[in-house]
Structure 1
Amino acid sequence: MIFAILLMDRPGTADLRVQVRPEHRAYLAQQAERMAFAGPLTSEDGKTVTGSLLAMDFPSRAAVDEWLSNEPFTKAGVYEKPVIHVFNNMWAQKVGFPPAA
């Protein structure tokens, strides 16, 4: 089952995010086969990170919660309360999206 996981950063955690990022990426890499997509959310400037959005395959919500409880940004206090929903992908993935300008 695919879960959409919205994780907004707590205010004032930008430096902490940068510090913990290598551990966060290594933790995500351990679950690469489960990932439909993942990446940072940014402000309108496209540079200031405000959170993360992931779509990942887990057998249950309890499995998502367990995985997330060990996620480095969660453990360090970067994220506020997560928003998690089952996601039904009704549109085919596009390779190379967005198209080059």
Structure 2
Amino acid sequence: MLYAVICNDKKDHLHVRLDIRPKHLDYLKSLGKTLKFAGPFLDDNEKPNGTLIVVEAKSLQEAEGYAQNDPYAKAGLFSDMKIRRWRWSVNNPEEA
């Protein structure tokens, strides 16, 4: 099952995001095929202010583990995090 991890950054924490970004990217790359896609949400000034990650996991608890082990989460970047089951219905490259 796919899970969408939807996070919003704490206000005035762009410096945390920028400092931790290399570790965050290394972590995402380490997930291999578990990670389906990821990227930042942007504010009106094109500055990142949140994160969307979609992972494949056997359970919500497994998806939560991936999310909680993200260096951004460990650094306290996020003001909130939601994890929701998600179905890739359109333009899924695995169904091409």
Could you tell me the TM-score, scaled by structure 1's length?
A: 0.85
Please say if residues 35 and 54 of structure 2, whose CA atoms lie closer than 8 Å, have aligned partners that are also in contact. yes
**Deviation digits for residues 32-73 of structure 1 (CA, Å, limit 9, x no counterpart):** 31122110110133x211101111101111111122222100
Is the CA contact (8 Å cut-off) linking 2:64 and 2:83 kept in structure 1? no
The gaps in structure 2 that reach 5 residues or longer are none
**1:50 aligns to what?**
49
1:78 aligned partner: 77
User: CA shift at 1:93, angstroms?
Assistant: 3.2
Q: Which runs of 4+ in 1 moved over 3 A?
A: none
Please identify which structure carries the higher strand content: 2
The residue that corresponds to 1:9 in the other structure is 9
Question: Could you tell me how far apart the structure 2 residues matched to 1:69 and 1:90 are?
Answer: 27
AA paired with 1:2? Answer: L
Deviation at 1:74, TM superposition (A): 0.5
Query: Considering only CA atoms, is the larger Rg found in Structure 1 or Structure 2?
Result: 1
Gaps of 5+ in 1: 95-101
The residue type equivalent to 1:85 in the other structure is: R
Partners of 1:31 and 1:84 in 2: CA distance: 17
CA distance in 2, matches of 1:93, 1:66: 24
Aligned-partner residue type, residue 17 of structure 1: R
TM norm structure 2: 0.89
Q: How does 1:61-100 map to 2 (within 5 A)?
A: 61-93=60-92
CA distance in 1, matches of 2:38, 2:59: 19
